[in-house]
Amino acid sequence: MSSTLAIARMPRAGLPRLAQQALPLLYQHRLMATSQLHQLLTPHTRRPVYLLRQLGLLRTLQLVDATSHRNGRMGRGEQLWYITPRGAEVVERAGEVTARAYRMSPEAAVSQLQDHTLAVVDTGVAFTRWARVLGDECGPLDWEPELAHRVRDGAGDDVFLISDAVLRYTRTTEGDRRQLLTYFVEVDRATMHVSRLGKKLTAYARYASYVPQSLPGRPAGSGTGREAWRDRYPAFPRLLIVFAGVAQRALQGRVSDLRALADADSRLRRTTGLAAGVTTLELLRAHGPWASIVTPILGEPVPTDVLLQSSRGSAK
């Protein structure tokens, strides 16, 4: 058997435990900095010495590869890691994460999407860190990037609403009550006009009320008769827009513009099941999701936490 084929058929069980844990994270999150992996996998250590050793092993086995930050903003020596096609095959055979068609390439790893991908991971890391501190549940695999939600338009064509991530968080409250929460997460680095976010808001409002109809060629009434999201979520997820790396002055204007766009959108005004709010990655990191760090997009702009209970039509 060739060495290449042996690597492709290597079981994850034959790898050290930390290396086994790193592979599905890199498969699911696509591109991760060493510091992000350190916070998720070895937060009890001051420096990621052993982690880097295991990542080096995976790289030697051609299961992962690494590149540097194209703008050098992650700090001296920071590497960005991604899974190779061989590593993806090993993860998919284990069946622990949802198989995805997307494959990270060396070209994509150094593309202009690098910063946005890392910011999405930073958002998930912030939720995971605070869950650990507060005794809640949100693990390294509890958010999935780039999830598509199909909405069929009036012409019968498929339109896909693609969330930057869908994040799941289990909160333990007084009396050991548990809240199972789901969020649509949109990360904005102010690299595009705020109208793009306005269109995303409209798309989420559309998805909240979208009921699949009978497909062409099928009997009338063959549709489900209920909203499409109910087949995927127990309740319609809250929408959290996270601004990352945006200066305070620009942030205030961006939030005001987004609220104005939402107020002018008739579909949003008619949608009662959408709870949406804006915060920043810096606030989320510093104060956690249960501080008053979120400004509702709909209704009064009174700061609240990620439950968005003061937002019009907030989810349960």
**Quick one: pLDDT at residue 314?**
46
231: CATH: 3.40.1350
**Quick one: pLDDT at residue 5?**
36
Mean pLDDT over 42-53 rounds to 96
Cα gap 268→261, rounded to integer Å = 10
Do the beta carbons of residue 223 and residue 201 sit within 8 Å? no
In a domain, 310, yes or no: no
Q: Percentage of the chain with pLDDT > 90?
A: 64
Cα gap 202→263, rounded to integer Å = 11
**Quick one: pLDDT at residue 315?**
47
In a domain, 312, yes or no: no
Query: Residue 219: which pLDDT band, with cuts at 50, 70 and 90?
Result: very low
**Quick one: pLDDT at residue 154?**
56
Final residue before a domain boundary, out of 65, 84, 110 = 110
Mean pLDDT over 110-128 rounds to 94
The answer to whether the Cα torsion of 88, 91, 93, 97 is positive or negative is: negative
Asked whether residue 35 falls in the same domain as residue 161, the answer is: no
49: CATH: 1.10.10.10
For the chain, the C-alpha Rg in angstroms (whole number) is 21
In a domain, 308, yes or no: no
Do the beta carbons of residue 122 and residue 36 sit within 8 Å? yes
Asked whether residue 103 falls in the same domain as residue 143, the answer is: no
pTM score over 0.75: yes
Check pLDDT > 90 for residue 131. Answer: yes
Q: Is 278 helix (H, G, I), strand (E, B) or coil?
A: strand
Asked whether residue 240 falls in the same domain as residue 205, the answer is: yes
Q: Which residues pair with 80 in a beta bridge?
A: 33, 67
Give per-residue pLDDT as tens, 153-191.
Answer: 655 567 889 999 999 999 998 888 899 999 999 999 988
Q: Which amino acid is at 309?
A: Q
Domain extent at residue 147: 115-296
Check pLDDT > 80 for residue 215. Answer: no
Q: Is 1 helix (H, G, I), strand (E, B) or coil?
A: coil
Check pLDDT > 70 for residue 248. Answer: yes
Query: Residue 19: which pLDDT band, with cuts at 50, 70 and 90?
Result: very high
Mean pLDDT over 301-306 rounds to 94
**DSSP assignment letter at 313:** T
Check pLDDT > 50 for residue 72. Answer: yes
Please state the domain count of the chain: 2
Residue with tokens 């930073």: 122
